[in-house]
Structure 1
């Protein structure tokens, strides 16, 4: 069971008066409101000024659970009063990573989205030794078990019990407590926001999962067979190249060792980042993003739903995502699934609800889209269309345009020369310059390096794998942001 972090707040959105939840607009101002905190029972004052949003405040010391309890009780009261809700479709999705490292999923819809009108909503109702936040009875007599998630999500054992009894049950997610500053906002969130509803159980859900699991198994097995065939072909091709070019063998072995060492260094860096405290993480990210002194820029401190799923403050993981996938990388396509896999190695992901990490990352990228940094290409895919942070606009203008870090690209040619020596190909300057141009194009076109390798191989009569090896070892991202020691370009 996941528990959200509670922090004392003087603001309580709703008060308890004579056993009923009320909003500030329904009572007199100040102590005359005659309301108490639903969390601790202490007296409240109704604050109805001209500057701030109307709210209640503790008359004395604030408690830790007042706001959460207020939202929870008022949400149930809204259900009992309104007696209607918009529910999403009931669907089952199973996902797994196939042999190629791709996320594969299968989905089926069990019931369509619907607007339900209840004839009765019983609060704190008991059903077969279980107690629900509410039980709604529809006009057809169908009963819905309803849970309101504010602080504690429904635990796995309870979900399993609901499934075993084949009850129709769902959970309304209201964990972003402080987003509800008015009764109308909460009413909409409870009754007219199907994206906040998560189905817990539904008749036939188990059978559907079994069917989808079999379908997903066949997809994964097909991918495994294809991967095995591809690996066998690669092995045959590699063996033929080794036999035909024994001189390159030593260089390839060195390159393979270097790749292994690079992977080990990456894993070590991820472990060190995960183990560091937030202050150390922020210092690292500030240096990487060249952040100015002062408050964290709004670009990397966006209040998104589920932002606490990564076990760190939202400014930390958003700065890290912006650094790795947007900042100074030029035009390229990115997949949210790939980013989440990368984040799993750097953060302790503890989702408030099943999809909260995906929701948080999706919402952040939609914010970046509105801010002009990325463009949604469909599904989980986005294209970076601007890689310059606002705090570096003046520097960008000084170097003129998209390639705002030309020193990195100049450094890339030096990396190609070093990679050439590592592979032992001893290529001419002209060929290296063609490879350099290809690397520069990668910053804007997101082309495939192997396409360039085949083209250059045909042009110069050299093995495509030689070019691929050089491109792989000439890691542009590792170039320092400082001028090269000697002029590399005319």
Structure 2
């Protein structure tokens, strides 16, 4: 066939094969024109073999219109002819799958393969042989075994014929030819009918119904077992949760009872108990009686609640390898001590301030702050006596006796600090704060200060922060420079006297 011939779209006046002397022929196998001596397999009309140089070679009806199904009948007949002449074909794999869900929606399935993809070679094959009350397109024989083959264009095997095939209990397959047109040659038909399995499907396979029933029964057992296991697990989970809630309730009741008994103890009894637990002899340690400026949010004496906190969370607990969470300490204080009419926030501030003081004294070390976890600490010194403080040369220069401090000198103007009206977001300054804290020898104290102030909670004047930190040995310049670099304060000048640091 000339290589310059091009394909055209399917034309209902054309057909791909002609019928002559009992078999189907392609245009290339016969003479051109009426000399082809072919007829239409569908309607019996005379065909003309069109073998031009422009269009794909084909057959056309001579002086009559082509029937609606003539082209399809020709391809169908050619497909049967290929199978009868080849006398073998490849059948598709047949796998049965049944599925269902458990009560909790878990999908489960069972599967079984009845037939693998394989080649079947017939001893002989015959077209349209009656099998009781049906006549398949082709029947292939191998000994006493038979395979029924159906081929279709528009209409697949209907329900009635399927029932009749099932009554025969003979394996049957169906081949889909629906996408083939006049461009289809014997090569494409051979590939479809003999080799491919994508366009083949099983209509009936012996014992398929029995195997499907067996799979359903097996799956039903698995689902019942899964439902029972899920039910048992749900019951066990419910019992575990009930046990957990019961234990939480018992623990909470026990803590509340212990806290109530502690509240009922006299101050003298509490003091005696703490002396025995901590081994305090004589004078009460100064760091266990840190009074709050302006009154305490906790009704209990400072020496009692602070010593109790020290005994519970710090005493003999240094370097135990766990983080001490501020939220845990705060909850314990609320349960243990009377807070009167103080707000929870006020009590929280009181506890945070004291923990910051213990950091400055060397008992605790504050860990990096993570908003989703809250503040945590590590106990670095768990003995009653505070750790010795190593005084640096720089610190010594700032420890000037009160009597030796110079009096304010009138200079005309003096430096003054004010809070910024709008504070930057913590996410914008966290890295800078971490860097400044790490590079300062007063890092822990500056970090404690940063935890105590916020846009809505800070002293009226920024200089008050420096005055508080001065009591812990932090120079005024270090405090104000820290706040200024973080963008929390502004420096200005006012007439009058300069306050000496």
TM-score in terms of structure 1 length = 0.42
Structure with higher RCO (Cα < 8 A, 6+ apart): 1
Larger radius of gyration: 2
TM-score in terms of structure 2 length = 0.41
